[in-house]
A = this chain, B = another copy of it.
Amino acid sequence: MNDTWLDKVNWPQDGLIPAVAQEAGSGRVLMLAWMNREALRKTAETGEAHYWSRSRRKLWHKGGDSGHVQKVRSVRLDCDEDVVLIEVEQQGGIACHTGRHSCFFQVLQGGNWIAADPVLRAPSEIYRK
């Protein structure tokens, strides 16, 4: 592939666009992370989700440490061309670093955020060396 498709993206000044990961089959929204040009390119080229880690300030191959790789089925771009939506198969069934299926596990109920989804595996088990 040449880079025309990457040029079509409206990269903002900081070079980062939001990327929403949605699970194939279940339709669950698993997480939102950020992609720079290199992360989006790697995602498309390797078929595995890559993000830009804002906290670690480096390219982040999702699941590189945990094994919870996201296999990419499709990549979509929105009307303003500054957000992508990727459809993924979530390896291990866990997207969140807390050990939950989805990062969106807190639900607003009666004026409070309630942790509504179970921890499927302890983070200490996921990230042990």
Which of B26, B79, B80, B108 contacts A74 (CB under 8 A)? B108
Contact among B1, B44, B76, B111 for A105, CB-based, below 8 A: B76
Q: Does A126 contact B (CB under 8 A)?
A: no
Query: In the complex, are the beta carbons of B75 and A108 less than 8 A apart?
Result: yes
Asked whether B108 lies within 8 Å of A79 as measured between CB atoms, the reply is: no
Q: Which of B83, B106, B112 contacts A76 (CB 8 A)?
A: B106
* Cβ–Cβ contact A108 & B78, under 8 A: no
Q: A residues touching B (Cβ–Cβ < 8 Å)?
A: 1-2, 4-5, 8, 18, 20, 22, 26-29, 31-32, 44, 74-81, 83, 85, 96-98, 100, 103-108, 110-113
